[in-house]
């Protein structure tokens, strides 16, 4: 694991024109499969499982879930067995293949069954004392605790911090890190989901104390894992100009939002802005056809 990941400056003519400096916390470099917020979310979940003498990690996700893959790899690496409940029909894709390589037992369930995850766990593993329930995406207080450590690693202070949001756990953790370190950066959670307004309450529910933040809900590009030509073009141009890959589900949408807000002159000259790269680059494989077709 590579922790204390670098804060790499991103150069772009727009940033120079507007007089701002943009940096990226490269958590995508933590591990090839347990990258970004996936490791930070799992870190204390795994420690608690060890403390409770759990042997089996049971978690949930869609067929393209980076969390499923990260859990499968982490389980193999740290001596656990793993089970993944997968929403939808059995499919053959790179995520599923890697999960199987790491020894994860996969159970494909209907979308209706998937809605009640605790019931699924209780039905199949409720009588197994060595089984540990891990919510979809690793969401929960242990995950937020791990994400808070992002702030304590920073080498400099920033006026603004951006992060993509799915469950809001990573955002809550980062805000808690700001609170713990007595910092006052403006925080922006960029919802990757359509109708992401609910994230405001979800994030607030995980905070150690009140902290104002900005929830951006207009950059979902049609919904979770949805894209369009504008987003794919942005991701391709960003990769070609920086050497850094963004995934189309989370980080691509976050950087698109950041870039557009800079264009609107929402920041002052001299401001330093940090974008958190939360990994998840396997999401690119699910959009290979779109990437190929957009010039």
Residue range 173-229, pLDDT digits in tens: 999 999 999 999 999 999 999 999 999 999 999 999 999 999 999 999 999 999 999
Going by pLDDT thresholds of 50, 70 and 90, the confidence category of residue 260 is very high
Tell me if 221 is assigned to some domain: yes
Characterize the bridge pairing of strands 160-165 and 186-191. parallel
Same domain, 159 and 260: yes
Same domain, 174 and 235: yes
What are the strands, taking DSSP E only, across the chain? 7-10, 21-26, 56-61, 81-87, 105-109, 131-133, 160-165, 186-191, 214-216, 272-277
> Which residues sit opposite 215 in a β-bridge?
189
Query: Which of 90, 106, 138 corresponds to the end of one domain?
Result: 138
Residue range 28-58, pLDDT digits in tens: 999 999 999 999 999 999 999 999 999 999 9
Residue range 102-151, pLDDT digits in tens: 999 999 999 999 999 999 999 999 999 999 999 999 999 999 999 999 99
Backbone phi, then psi, for 49, in 5-degree steps? -60, -40
Tell me if 125 is assigned to some domain: yes
Same domain, 146 and 281: yes
User: DSSP 3-state assignment of 110?
Assistant: coil
Sorted by sequence, the CB contacts under 8 Å of residue 166 that are 6+ apart come out as: 137, 192, 193, 224, 250
Same domain, 80 and 134: yes
Same domain, 132 and 158: no
pTM of the predicted model, to two decimals? Answer: 0.95
Same domain, 18 and 147: yes
Task: Please say if the pLDDT value at position 293 is more than 80.
Answer: no
Same domain, 209 and 158: yes
> Which residues sit opposite 275 in a β-bridge?
24, 162
Residue entry with tokens 């603004």: 160
Same domain, 166 and 216: yes
Same domain, 88 and 209: no
CATH code for the domain in which residue 113 is found = 3.40.50.1100
Same domain, 175 and 245: yes
Tell me if 272 is assigned to some domain: yes
Tell me if 2 is assigned to some domain: no
Residues in the chain, overall count: 295
Q: From CA 152, how far away is CA 160, in angstroms rounded?
A: 16
Task: Locate 159 and state its tokens.
Answer: 């006026």
Characterize the bridge pairing of strands 272-277 and 21-26. parallel
Residue range 266-284, pLDDT digits in tens: 999 999 999 999 999 988 8
Tell me if 195 is assigned to some domain: yes
Contact 113, 134 (CB under 8 A): no
Query: Which of 107, 138, 169 corresponds to the end of one domain?
Result: 138
Query: Which of 138, 155, 180 corresponds to the end of one domain?
Result: 138
Same domain, 125 and 195: no
Contact 251, 234 (CB under 8 A): no
Domain that holds residue 44: 37-138
Tell me if 1 is assigned to some domain: no
For the annotated catalytic residues, the residue numbers are 65
- Dihedral of CA atoms 70, 282, 35, 39 in degrees, nearest 10, equals -30
Domain count for the chain:
2
Residue entry with tokens 């006026």: 159
Same domain, 177 and 281: yes
Reference 281, options 19, 30, 35; nearest CA is 35
């Amino acid at each position: 694991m590579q922790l204390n990941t670098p804060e790499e400056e991103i150069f772009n003519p727009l940033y120079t024109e507007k007089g701002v400096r943009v940096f990226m916390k490269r958590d995508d470099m933590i591990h090839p499969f347990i990258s970004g917020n996936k490791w930070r979310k799992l870190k204390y979940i795994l420690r608690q499982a060890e403390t409770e003498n759990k042997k089996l990690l049971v978690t949930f996700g869609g067929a393209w879930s980076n969390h499923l893959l990260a859990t499968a790899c982490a389980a193999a690496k740290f001596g656990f067995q793993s089970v993944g409940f997968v929403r939808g029909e059995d499919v053959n894709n790179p995520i599923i293949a890697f999960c199987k390589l790491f020894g994860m037992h996969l159970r494909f369930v209907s979308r209706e069954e998937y809605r009640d995850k605790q019931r699924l766990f209780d039905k199949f593993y409720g009588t197994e004392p060595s089984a540990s329930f891990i919510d979809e995406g690793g969401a929960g207080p242990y995950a937020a605790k791990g994400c808070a450590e992002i702030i304590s690693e920073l080498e400099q202070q920033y006026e603004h911090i951006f992060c993509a949001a799915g469950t809001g756990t990573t955002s809550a953790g980062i805000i808690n890190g700001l609170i713990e370190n007595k910092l006052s950066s403006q925080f922006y959670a960029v919802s990757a989901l359509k109708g992401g307004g609910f994230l405001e309450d979800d994030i607030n529910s995980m905070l150690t104390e009140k902290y104002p933040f900005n929830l951006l809900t207009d950059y979902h590009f049609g919904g979770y894992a949805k894209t369009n030509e504008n987003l794919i073009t942005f991701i391709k141009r960003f990769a070609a100009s920086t050497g850094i890959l963004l995934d189309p589900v989370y980080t691509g949408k976050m950087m698109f939002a950041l870039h557009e807000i800079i264009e609107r002159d929402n920041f002052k000259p001299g401001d330093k802005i940090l974008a958190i790269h939360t990994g998840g680059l396997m999401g690119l494989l699910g959009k290979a056809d779109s990437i190929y077709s957009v010039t």
